[in-house]
Structure 1
Amino acid sequence: MRSIGVEEELLLVNAESGVPRAVAARAIAHADVVARESGGSLDHELQQQQLETDTAPTTDIDVLAHDIRAWRRTAIDAARQAGARIIASGTSPLPVEPRIVSHERYQRMVDQFGLTTNEQLTCACHVHVAIDSRAEGIGILDRIRTVTPILTALSANSPFWQGKDSGYASFRSQALQRWPTSGPQEVFGSVAAYDRLVDGMLASGVMLDRGMVYFDTRLSHRYPTIEIRVADVCADVRETVLIATVCRAMVETAARAWRAGDPAPPVPATLLRLATWQAGRHGLSENLIDPTTLQPRPARQVVDDLLRTVGPALRDSGDEERVRADVDWLFRRGTGADRQRAVYEKTGRLSDVVAQLARVTAGQDE
């Protein structure tokens, strides 16, 4: 069974006002645990208003859920020592002036990309799934690219931007498109083709290093994994675990198709960008683009088709019942974006949205 690990980017906010606070360095300095020998860590991200956690790889979904909660508690405790709270939201509901972490690489990014770097304050959930080889990894990337927009819709949790309703369920997915290396890619076909593309991006002088390969899905340059990067960070750990479990099933299903010699769907990246836009715009509240027909269909039908496709992999890992129950729960409850908007509609205060996010992030109001 394939191991999985999760990286979560989290926002540091003022405990009273809910406005993001630039105290990442102070929070990390106060953390009881920054890294464990068995894996996992708490670290800074691009902006001083962010922390990032990552879990050790595991094949056990219950262990994954435990580890995500444990690292959130570590981040919450560290933030409290720095006079802040933690929220899991793809963007800040309240206005914010991002402040870059003092780091040579980040300063190079400011010099190269200007406002794109300075204004970039978004929080994602990245899922790493183990692969047997880079060749298998490319076979998987080529076969999951058409269904990753569904993950954006399921995880949508960033409706507000600089204190205003963006009109999107996942505005984070829009903000990321400002980077010249982001988004879906064409079918690679081989490791050599993937490497040629990345080498060409480096040779162009635009991309600074391999860490800036911001594809929707990519071969990790650090681990024997593929990294799926399209999800917003989710407020509720149950949603995070759902996303990670579906990612693993997608990867296993694609690997089986690659080994069987089934061709990758030759969908142009331009159409995948449209599917991603649709998912980010509406989440689960309107139609999604069907990954097979490329026509709009009700979101529930598109998600159910995905679950049927990955059903054998879910059954083999013992996850099918859990995933189906969690998808039913998510459609009844609404996405994170739906719930953020519901709080705002009820109270008219974005600070209440932040307070609710803080409670759910801490597992106090699930």
Structure 2
Amino acid sequence: MRTVGVEEELLLVDPETGEPRAMSAAVLARAERDDAEQDVFEKELHEQMLEFATHPQSSMESLRAEIVRCRKEAAGHAGEIGCTVAALATSPLPVSPSIGVNHRYQWMEEQFGIATREQLVMGCHVHVSVESDEEGVAVVDRLRPWLPVLAALSANSPFWQGKETGYNSYRSRVWQRWPSAGPTELFGSPERYHRQVADMVATGVILDEGMVYFDARLSQRYPTVEIRVSDVCLHAETAGLIATLARGLVETAAREWRAGREPLDPGVSLLRLAAWQAARSGLAGELLHPETMRRMPAEAVLRTLLDHTAEALEDHGDLERAREGCARLLRDGNGAQVQRDLMRRTGSLRDVVTECVRHTQA
């Protein structure tokens, strides 16, 4: 059974005002002091961010429990120095992000300018194990049209710098400022994949392979495919659903490859439109159908995703949980809908953030 790991980026905020706090270095120092052997938490580009990575799990129940545990530990370490964490993909309140003191981050600021200075966005990356680079590239090629559906499910960033954006996932639009971000063409083989990455680094536009921000890529550090399209999810349950569906998609893609089925081949232009549509409407409107690239209601597209992955999900014992999770999000709304409902009810973005702090640890 394929293992799955999750990396989540959390926003550090003041527990009373909801304003972002540039305290990641202090939180990391406290985490290292308290849990020196855990090595769960990592620094990120901005001082208002904190990242954690779970251990690989084969059980989705165990993975969700670890996400909950890591979130609670992050809140505990942050609470000891006067801040807390919120699983928000952008800050609803205005913020001037502080870039971390790090050669890599300083290089990025010099190279990319305002795009680096404003890039305070929090994502969720899912790692799914693969047996080889050959299988991994075959999977990356076959995931392409399905990834916008995961982005729509996870959408959790309707506000930016104190304003309503009109998007469900504005984080994904900000993320597209990186020159290497977004969907890819078909690679066809590990050799072509690695040659493309090497050529990108050789341009000097990016510093190294770690800055190749494909929507799905081969991990540098692990024998995994890393899926990078999702907002950090407001609820741990939603993060678990994204991980479950990601494993189902990877397993389905690998089976199709082994059976000799060719990948769908919408061009990058259509994939960008599908990603934009997912960011704009989330689950509240229409998405582009992965197989036809035509607009359909989000509920119908989710049914197609579940049908596409049903055999793999069933074999892993995840099908019913995935169906229930998708039904719950359609009924109750994803993070973007929860944030907007809170804003309508309270009229205050500060209250939105402080309430989302509670949701983060629920």
TM range (shorter): over 0.9
| Structure 2 counterparts to residues 209-358 of structure 1, below 5 A | 209-358=208-357
2:29 counterpart of 1:29: yes
Q: Deviations over 1:162-203 (max 9, x none)?
A: 000111000001001100000000011111111111111011
Q: Deviations over 1:223-261 (max 9, x none)?
A: 100000000001111000000000000000000000111
SS of structure 1 residue aligned to 2:61 = helix
SS of structure 2 residue aligned to 1:147 = helix
The amino acid across from 2:357 in the alignment is: A
CA contact (8 A) 1:34 1:42 kept: no
2:62 counterpart of 1:63: yes
Provide the residue aligned with 2:157 in structure 1.
158
SS of structure 2 residue aligned to 1:12 = strand
Q: Deviations over 1:303-338 (max 9, x none)?
A: 101101100000000001111111111111011101
1:34 Cα deviation (Å)?
5.3
CA contact (8 A) 1:110 1:117 kept: yes
**Could you tell me how far apart the structure 1 residues matched to 2:55 and 2:91 are?**
27
CA contact (8 A) 1:33 1:42 kept: no
Provide the residue aligned with 2:73 in structure 1.
74
Provide the residue aligned with 1:12 in structure 2.
12
**Could you tell me how far apart the structure 2 residues matched to 1:152 and 1:286 are?**
14
Structure-2-length-normalised TM-score:
0.98
The amino acid across from 1:257 in the alignment is: E
1:201 and 1:34, CA in 2 relative to 1: closer, same or farther beyond 3 A? farther
Structure 2 residue ranges without an equivalent (≥5) = none
1:35 Cα deviation (Å)?
4.8
Q: Deviations over 1:51-72 (max 9, x none)?
A: 0010000101111011111111
SS of structure 2 residue aligned to 1:146 = helix
Q: Deviations over 1:5-54 (max 9, x none)?
A: 00000000011111100000111111222552xxx611111100000010
**Could you tell me how far apart the structure 1 residues matched to 2:27 and 2:37 are?**
14
SS of structure 2 residue aligned to 1:215 = coil
| Structure 2 counterparts to residues 2-151 of structure 1, below 5 A | 2-31=2-31, 32-33=34-35, 35-36=37-38, 41-151=40-150
Identity %: 50
The amino acid across from 1:92 in the alignment is: S
**Could you tell me how far apart the structure 2 residues matched to 1:89 and 1:103 are?**
24
> How many residues of Structure 1 are paired with residues of Structure 2 in the alignment?
360
SS of structure 2 residue aligned to 1:11 = strand
1:75 and 1:274, CA in 2 relative to 1: closer, same or farther beyond 3 A? same
The amino acid across from 1:235 in the alignment is: L
Provide the residue aligned with 2:201 in structure 1.
202
1:172 and 1:35, CA in 2 relative to 1: closer, same or farther beyond 3 A? farther
1:100 Cα deviation (Å)?
0.6
SS of structure 2 residue aligned to 1:172 = helix
Provide the residue aligned with 1:168 in structure 2.
167
**Could you tell me how far apart the structure 1 residues matched to 2:227 and 2:54 are?**
15
Q: Deviations over 1:282-316 (max 9, x none)?
A: 10111100011111001000010110110000000
The amino acid across from 2:188 in the alignment is: G
The amino acid across from 2:280 in the alignment is: R
CA contact (8 A) 1:35 1:42 kept: no
CA contact (8 A) 1:12 1:84 kept: yes
**Could you tell me how far apart the structure 2 residues matched to 1:60 and 1:339 are?**
28
Q: Deviations over 1:64-93 (max 9, x none)?
A: 011111111111011111211100011001
Moved more, 319-328 or 122-131: 319-328
SS of structure 2 residue aligned to 1:201 = helix
**Could you tell me how far apart the structure 2 residues matched to 1:259 and 1:362 are?**
41
**Could you tell me how far apart the structure 2 residues matched to 1:119 and 1:287 are?**
29
CA contact (8 A) 1:34 1:41 kept: no
Moved more, 25-34 or 13-22: 25-34
The amino acid across from 2:159 in the alignment is: F
RMSD: 0.8
SS of structure 1 residue aligned to 2:193 = helix
SS of structure 2 residue aligned to 1:297 = strand
1:35 and 1:216, CA in 2 relative to 1: closer, same or farther beyond 3 A? farther
Structure 1 residue ranges without an equivalent (≥5) = none
The amino acid across from 1:3 in the alignment is: T
SS of structure 1 residue aligned to 2:131 = coil
SS of structure 2 residue aligned to 1:5 = strand
